[in-house]
Structure 1
Amino acid sequence: MIFFQFVCLILSIFATLASSIGSESGSLSACSKFDFEEKVLEKLVRLEHKMEVYTEKMKLWEESVSTSLDKVVEAKIKTETFIESMRETQRQYQTRFNESLLETIEHFKLQSENKTEMYERKMNTLLESFSFKIQELSEAERKRESATQVSLDQEQNRFNASFDKIVENFQVRFNKSLQEIALNQQKVALTACHSRQSTVSSGKIVHFSDIRTNIGIIDVSSYKSTGKFVCTVAGLYHISAVMMSNTNDAVYYIYKNNSRIITTLYGQIDHYYETRTSVFVTMLNVGDEITVRTKGSQYIYEYSCFTIVKLN
């Protein structure tokens, strides 16, 4: 636009100059050659001055455009740097979480091995005690061989009854010990994530239907459809929830049955979204339920995940 105005001004100046020269050509007879040249020179000087003024304006315009382009490039670089820093923060957090989970699993494995060794020692002691009692009973039987046949039969009957009782008691204790060992060694672990980003209404149970890890959970379809983790093996459990949302002042809870265990507040969202993590340890009995519930409607991303691991 400025260039177009500049061209129009030049054309008007030349038109004025030509008109002036044409009008003066009629009076050359009255003016001297010197006067004519002086007027032409004066108009050329004025034209040169206007050319300099518009040249200066063109330079200022070019500098303004260059400065604006530099600011745009600088803003683009800052935006790319910020996005890259957010990605790096997410990668670091994921790495720390994976390391923590692996450490927890390794610790649980070590505890399971120690428990197995302890129960093996108890079983060996119990078997040795039983063997010793058998030897005592056998020795008593040999001492009674000198008694009469009637006494022998009576003692034999009493021995058989006592032996059957001991075997029965031992079998009950042995089966109970085996069940305890099996339950303590049974591994239970689950990691599941929100299948897609969506808005969850207030007071609703959050569903984590994208199963990432499943160890020892048979009815996983029920968990996917209801969002309720139902304990089938009693023990000490490590429970965590990593929630991602862009809803200001959003709150979520972790419930054990109908009791609220953990309350987590997002606060004000400074960027596109915020991530909050809740972690706790609790004893669960068979039938206990663990759920994640919302307070107020909130938008939840698919990166939100729930993890539960049986420790012993």
Structure 2
Amino acid sequence: MLTCSKYHFEEKVLEKLIRLEHKMEIFNEKMKIWKDSISTKLSQFEDKMDSYDETTKHFKIQINNKIDIFEEQMSNMSQSLTSYSQQLKEAEQTRDNLIVQQREDFSKMMAKNDVIAFSAYRSLSQSLSTGTVVNFDKVWTNIGNGYNPNIGIFIAPRSGLYHFTSVVMSESKALYLRLFHNGAKISSSYMDGGFKTGLFDVLLSLEKRDTVSIKSTGTYTVHSSGGNYISFSGYIIK
């Protein structure tokens, strides 16, 4: 009975050992599979890391190349802008020189031709008080720039004999004007109202910088409109 039990026990132990060995084999097989899987995944990961490193390296190379290209383009643009700026400065200098030359040529031509002449007018009425200059503020002709339309006064560019004429017009009330050479009264024109015209026509011997103007003797209104009814003209005779 004891012998049988011992045999049975050993058989059971052996059976368990066999089962354990089988489980160990299964475990080892699973471990091998797991190890292979881990190894494969590690290999794949390493491949991906290598690919990532390669991609990163390639990306860095592309970025650096683009930066180099951009810097080269910026350098070229800067050089082009510098060149254009220089060309613009040269063009402006050429233009300025041409303007100066044209002015000099014009001045020489005018001095050679010896022409001084102007003709100006007003397109609107002007209210006057004693001593107010009638300002013919619009210019048809101003050769020699002797007439100043901002103040209505002719300033002789040079000495000579000049001829001056002027047409003026009153409104409903009277108008009394005088033509002055410097501060001297030269000629007068009186209109007793009702849109009448008055005339000035004089020859004056002027020195350089002498002035000629038409002034009011009191509180009046000189008439004009879009018809340009009043004018002031003059020119050098010799």
- Whose helix fraction is larger, Structure 1's or Structure 2's? 1
Structure showing greater radius of gyration is 2
Q: Under a length normalisation based on structure 2, what TM-score does the superposition of the two structures give?
A: 0.49
Higher relative contact order (CA 8 A, sep 6+): 2
Q: Which has the higher strand share?
A: 2
TM-score, normalisation: structure 1: 0.38
